[in-house]
Amino acid sequence: MTTLIEAPPTDADGLLPSKKKSAGGGLGQYILIRFLLIFPTILILVTMVFFLMRITGDPITAALGGRLPPEQLAERITAAGYDRPILVQYFEYLGQLITGNFGTTLSDNRQVTEMLATYGSATLELTINALLVALLVGIPLGMVAAHRRDKAPDAVLRIFAILCYATPVFFSGLLFKLTFSVWLGWLPVAGRARTSSELQLTSLQAPTGIYWVDAIRSGNMAALGDVLAHAVLPALALGLLTAGIFLRLVRTNVIGTLGKDYVEAGRSRGVSEFRLVTKHAYKPALIPIITVMGLQIAVLLGGAVLTETTFEWKGLGFQLATYLTARDFVAVQGIVVLLAVIVAVTNFIVDIVAALIDPRVRY
User: Where on the chain is the footprint of other proteins (CB under 8 A)?
Assistant: 37, 40-41, 44-45, 48-49, 52-53, 55-56, 150-152, 154-155, 158, 162-163, 165-168, 170-171, 174-175, 177-178, 181-183, 189, 252, 255-256, 259, 295, 298-299, 301-303, 305-306, 309-310, 320-321, 324-325, 327, 336, 339-340, 343-344, 347
Return d(Cα 287, Cα 290) in angstroms, integer: 5
Q: Min. distance of Cβ 55 from other proteins in angstroms?
A: 6
For other proteins, the closer of residues 162 and 222 by Cβ is: 162
For other proteins, the closer of residues 224 and 342 by Cβ is: 342
For other proteins, the closer of residues 17 and 40 by Cβ is: 40
Q: Min. distance of Cβ 240 from other proteins in angstroms?
A: 13
For other proteins, the closer of residues 167 and 218 by Cβ is: 167
Return d(Cα 350, Cα 358) in angstroms, integer: 12
Return d(Cα 359, Cα 363) in angstroms, integer: 9
Q: Min. distance of Cβ 182 from other proteins in angstroms?
A: 5
Q: Min. distance of Cβ 217 from other proteins in angstroms?
A: 31
For other proteins, the closer of residues 139 and 336 by Cβ is: 336
Contact 63, 328 (CB under 8 A): yes
For other proteins, the closer of residues 5 and 295 by Cβ is: 295
Q: Min. distance of Cβ 350 from other proteins in angstroms?
A: 11
- Phi/psi at 100 (nearest 5 deg)? 80, 15
Q: Min. distance of Cβ 258 from other proteins in angstroms?
A: 11
Q: Min. distance of Cβ 207 from other proteins in angstroms?
A: 27
If we measure between CA atoms, which residue out of 104, 16, 119, 71 comes closest to residue 338?
A: 119
For other proteins, the closer of residues 15 and 31 by Cβ is: 31
Q: Min. distance of Cβ 52 from other proteins in angstroms?
A: 5
